[in-house]
Amino acid sequence: TMAHSKAFLVLENFIGGKFVPCPSYIDSYNPSTGDIYCRVPDSGKEEVETAVKAAKDAFPIWSSKTPLERSQILNKLADLIEDDLEAFAQAESKDQGKTITFARTIDIPRAVYNFRFFASSILHHMTECTEMATMGCMHYTSRTPVGVAGLISPWNLPLYLLTWKIAPAIACGNTVVAKPSEMTSVTAWMMCKLLERAGVPHGVVNVVFGTGAKAGEALVCHPDVPVISFTGSTLTGQRIMEKSAPHCKRLSLELGGKNPAIIFDDADLTQCIPTTLRSSFANQICLCTSRIFVQRGIYSEFLKRFVAESKKWKVGNPADPTVDMGALISKEHLEKVRSYVKKAQAEGAKVLCGEGVDSLALPTGNQKGYFMLPTVIAEVNDESCCMQEEIFGPVTCVVPFDTEEEVIKRANSVKYGLSATVWSSNVGRVHRVAQRLQSGLVWTNCWLIRDLNLPFGGMKASGMGREGGKDSYEFFTEVKTITIKH
């Protein structure tokens, strides 16, 4: 009813440059209070159909603009988001549960940078040319945009990951239909309000809100969407592969992880401990550490210091700037993460701090929020589900190891291969280990430092394809080899 819907923010789909209402809506919660925050369109086939049509109609004009023209529009959009940075950060924090500090310093600045980065990088790509003098031939490649791109993103870094796809897709001259996570749709909707002012022509960026099962799947199955870029869980990635197989779609899949940190006895613990704390408990990033292998000589010291620091990590109201960690995304997800800790205990592992061990005092306004303390588990087998499956919450396992050879084998003994960190002051060792880890990204003596020029993505069940300056350009364009004979 009107009275009901008026109480909340109500989002609308953005199709062909206009906001359009949807016949039905889903409630989206503020994870730090448990209250309804907004209502999100529950789009399905029909809405996706209209959006794909709008994107198709916009393609001829957009794809024929010069890279420089598109670049200027992307830069303008970056400026407009940046002008509203605080409002975007507040909305992201409220919608997702992450701390305002994190949204302000990481999420929104990175969304701005995604547009600036691709606005710049699109101007610098070169195609190839070879000569075959004896045949009187030269060959060259030409790259053209693919068409309508379907972009599907998860809840953990909402605007950050969505713009990581939108920016390269439109910079290359494609038009897009994007579907953010139904749990974190607000900042994508806010961005839509800026598109016209930035000069993005109608229909170039369409956003359809709704669930994966309805809106997401309709997009994946649409015959006029030849390219899908997806970030989310491995299970959904597998389903997307199946559903797009009949159409032979081009896919980029950024999926789950079970990322190891390998800490050798010559590591600089004064740097390693605070960074590993962040890499373990920073707001549910797919690159988070969830298996910490510590060389036996420093195992007990590391564990003592790491647990002491974990206990100091402040969990609570994400709007409070002194808080280190906000809420988990949903009640269901909180239950799922908790169930892993219980399973570990049932298997005989030791929970050293956090869930079930320490008590969590929350401010009055946050009593119904989905909070959990950073949890450290020890004495756990490599075969345990806590060491094999992606938990995607503030839970990390710490185990000892003896040799380099052994730890490489154990680190590689999961189905995932997204990222890893290695800590040692021995350059040769760091280099050797990094080379042998089955992982799309390896950080040594640091974590989460990214150069967007370089490939991002996972091995094994962590994904397919890579994204990044050159990689995204290649993914979002078709290449053709042309031969000219005199």
User: Catalytic amino acids?
Assistant: 254
Residue nearest to ligand NAD (CB): 212
Q: From the list 72, 75, 120, 233, which residue makes contact with ligand NAD (rule: CB under 6 A)?
A: 233
Token reading at 75: 């830069």
Among 458, 465, 468, 469, interactor with ligand NAD by CB under 6 A: 458
Looking at 155, 302, 443, 475, which residue binds ligand NAD (CB under 6 A)? Answer: 155
Q: How far apart are CA 374 and CA 420, in angstroms?
A: 20
444 lines the binding site for ligand NAD (CB under 6 A) = no
Pick from 421, 129, 469: nearest CA to 273: 421
Q: Among residue numbers 135 through 154, which ones bind ligand NAD (CB under 6 A)?
A: 152-154
**Pairwise CA distance, residues 391 & 453, whole Å:** 29
Tell me which H or E stretch contains 56: helix 45-63
Question: What is the arrangement of strands in the sheet containing 477-485, beginning at the earlier edge strand?
Answer: 129-132, 137-145, 477-485
Shortest Å, Cβ 256 to ligand NAD: 4
31: contact with ligand NAD by CB under 6 A: no
Task: Provide the b/e sequence for 442-473 (b: ≥16 CB within 10 Å).
Answer: bbbbebbeeebeeebbbbbbbbbbbbbbebbb
CA dist., res. 181 & res. 211, Å (int): 7
Piece of the chain touching ligand NAD by CB under 6 A; list 199-207, 249-257, 258-266, 422-430: 249-257
Where in 158-187 is the site for ligand NAD (CB under 6 A)?
Answer: 161, 179, 181-182
Residue number, 337 or 399, with CB nearest to ligand NAD: 337
CA 345 to chain centre: 30
Q: Which is nearer to ligand NAD, 33 or 184 (CB)?
A: 184
Q: Is 454 in the site for ligand NAD (CB under 6 A)?
A: no
Q: How far is the CB of 133 from ligand NAD (least distance, A)?
A: 45
Q: What is the DSSP string of 196-210?
A: HHHTPPTTSEEE--S
Answer for the pair 303, 399: CB distance below 8 angstroms, yes or no: no
Which string of DSSP letters, residue by residue, matches 131-152?
A: EEGGGTEEEEEEEEE-SEEEEE
Q: How far is the CB of 253 from ligand NAD (least distance, A)?
A: 8
Q: Kindly state whether residue 213 participates in binding ligand NAD, applying the rule CB under 6 A.
A: yes
When binding is defined by CB under 6 A, the residue of 156, 175, 185, 252 that contacts ligand NAD is 156
Q: Which is nearer to ligand NAD, 211 or 388 (CB)?
A: 211
Tracing tokens 């199955």 back to the chain, one arrives at 221
State which of positions 333-392 bind ligand NAD (CB under 6 A): 390, 392
Q: Considering only 54-62, 140-148, 255-263, 295-303, which stretch makes contact with ligand NAD by CB under 6 A?
A: 255-263
Q: Is 220 one of the binding residues for ligand NAD (CB under 6 A)?
A: yes
Cβ 211 to ligand NAD, closest distance in Å? 6
Distance of CA 52 to CAs 22, 200, 376, Å? 16, 17, 46
Residue from 239, 249, 291, 338 binding ligand NAD (CB under 6 A): 239
Cβ proximity to ligand NAD: between 164 and 264 the closer is: 164
- Structural contact between residues 294 and 399, judged by C-beta atoms closer than 8 angstroms: yes
CA nearest neighbour of 276 among 300, 248, 306? 306
Is 109 within 8 Å of 457 (Cβ atoms)? Answer: no
The answer to whether 257 contacts ligand NAD (rule: CB under 6 A) is yes
Return the amino acid letter for 410: R
CB of 41 to ligand NAD, least distance (A): 13
- 44 near ligand NAD, judged by CB under 6 A: no
Q: Which amino acid is at 276?
A: T
Is residue 120 a contact point for ligand NAD (CB under 6 A)? no
Q: How far is CA 5 from the centre of its chain?
A: 30
How near is the Cβ of 274 to ligand NAD at its closest, in Å?
Answer: 23
Is there binding between residue 286 and ligand NAD (CB under 6 A)? yes
Q: Say how many residues touch ligand NAD, by CB under 6 A.
A: 31
CA distances from 70 to 62, 74, 77, 130, 460 (A): 8, 6, 11, 29, 35
Q: Is the dihedral of CA 339, 341, 343, 345 positive or negative?
A: negative
Q: Is 417 in the site for ligand NAD (CB under 6 A)?
A: no
Q: Nearest approach, Cβ of 115 to ligand NAD (angstroms)? A: 19
Stretch that binds ligand NAD, among 212-220, 294-302, 318-326, 343-351 (CB under 6 A): 212-220
Residue 283 binds ligand NAD (CB under 6 A): no
Single out the residue of 48, 167, 418, 420 in contact with ligand NAD (rule: CB under 6 A): 418
291 is an interface residue for ligand NAD by CB under 6 A? no
Q: Which stretch binds ligand NAD (CB under 6 A): 30-38, 211-219, 345-353, 378-386?
A: 211-219
Distance CA 378, CA 137 (A): 65
Distance CA 265, CA 297 (A): 6
Binding site for ligand NAD (CB under 6 A): 152-156, 161, 179, 181-182, 211-213, 216-217, 220, 231-233, 236, 239-240, 254-257, 286, 390, 392, 418, 458, 463
